[in-house]
Amino acid sequence: MPKEKILIVEDNKALSKLIVKKMNASLDFDVVAVYSFAEAKALVEKDNDFFVALLDLNLPDAPDGEVVDMVLSHNIPSIILTGSMDKETREAILKKDVIDYVVKGNIDDVNYIFSLIERLHKNRGVKVLVVDDSMVQRAQLKELLKHQMFTVMVAAHGEEALVFLRDNPDIKLVLTDFNMPVIDGLELTKEIRKSKSKNELPIIAMTASNKELISAQFLKIGANDFINKPFTKEELACRIHNSLDVVELLGRVQQLANYDFLTNISNRRHFFECMHAYMLETKEPFALCMIDVDNFKTINDSFGHDVGDSVLITLAKVLKDNLKGSDIVARFGGEEFCVALKNVDEKQALEFFFKLRTIIATTPIRPSGHKAFNFTVSMGVTFSDLESIDAMLKHADMALYKAKQNGKNRVEVA
């Protein structure tokens, strides 16, 4: 599949080459650079399939921003580059249907371009819900957000918004007014926070009345940010992007804290958290299985640690692919894994683990430069008739030891 393209129209060739070089190093796009209005016009008349365009506001053959209107007429999303910014220029830019503007000052301004393009690329997969009882305001906000490449849904009040949220669990941001009929913005925020935290679903509140009082109330009950009406599209876009950036950063931190970096399954700490919560919430029967790769040191010594890593990654994938969504699999460390099989009786669990052992033993590893080979695992299983997860793990470890002692590549029960 061909890469998406970015168009740069900038008469300063040194700056243009710098931007192209940095883009090629950090962004997965094809970058096309031209240096004049005439070149840009000839290009987009032949091909207007660009993800975004960076447009110099003042070109030698188009000194008054003509290139912006020309490129926008071809429905190419655009970011304006300008060497200076005064009030009149800024107001003129913001009246156009552009994404943003960047003042060409120093390397930080160039870096902002990259972060903005990355943000826009992410925005195409983000659903935003706008909640406002004003039809005019809803339409304006929808248009603004579409320029930022979001998928936008609109609701006239809080009750309608809750229906949208129920039917569209993939909504990633809520933008809500305060004064609305049926359910206002404060009550909507309270309802959302009953099931979604600030780190899961950011909420930005808006109002034009009782600014200080209302803003404090919104923030205290869980809004991520607050914006006073009237606001510029520039301010709103910055606040939205900042909120999404924070939530995504927290998500990455949580991913690093809870998941094994090599296999991308739960780590030991996260497994204990999930299992302690599960055992408090339910009395349903479940099984626990400790799994250890047989002869793992020999694999590493024979083929190298890269192949050893491939074995662990393959094993993690086989485990994930064969478990139910509610089951838990974790890497405990080294070549040791643990599976919690939920809501099964002993007979069902043993049938599953015997079958799983066979699937693993018949899954080949194909290392580069070596013949394909198969690996095996030993399994120790125990059941939920014990008083704690720690006690179960001790029993599963004893069963795993028995499997190793009895010849490996087998399932034992404790």
Catalytic sites, residue numbers? 335
3-state SS class at 409: coil
Residues forming a β-bridge with 204: 175, 225
| Structure tokens given for 11 | 């008469």
Q: Is the peptide bond before 2 cis (omega within 30 degrees of 0)?
A: no
* Neighbour-count burial of 206, counting CB atoms closer than 10 A to its CB (0-12 exposed, 13-18 middle, 19+ buried): buried
Q: Each residue of 154-175: b (16+ CB within 10 Å) or e? A: bbbbbbbbbebbeeeeebbbbb
What gap in Å lies between CA 353 and CA 381, rounded to an integer? 8
Cβ 308 vs Cβ 296: under 8 Å: yes
What does DSSP say about strands 336-342 and 328-333: parallel, antiparallel, or unpaired? antiparallel
- Residues 6 or more apart from 107 whose CB is under 8 A from it? none
From residue 91, give the alpha-carbon distance in Å to each of 64, 133, 293: 14, 28, 65
Q: Does an H or E element contain 10, and which? A: none
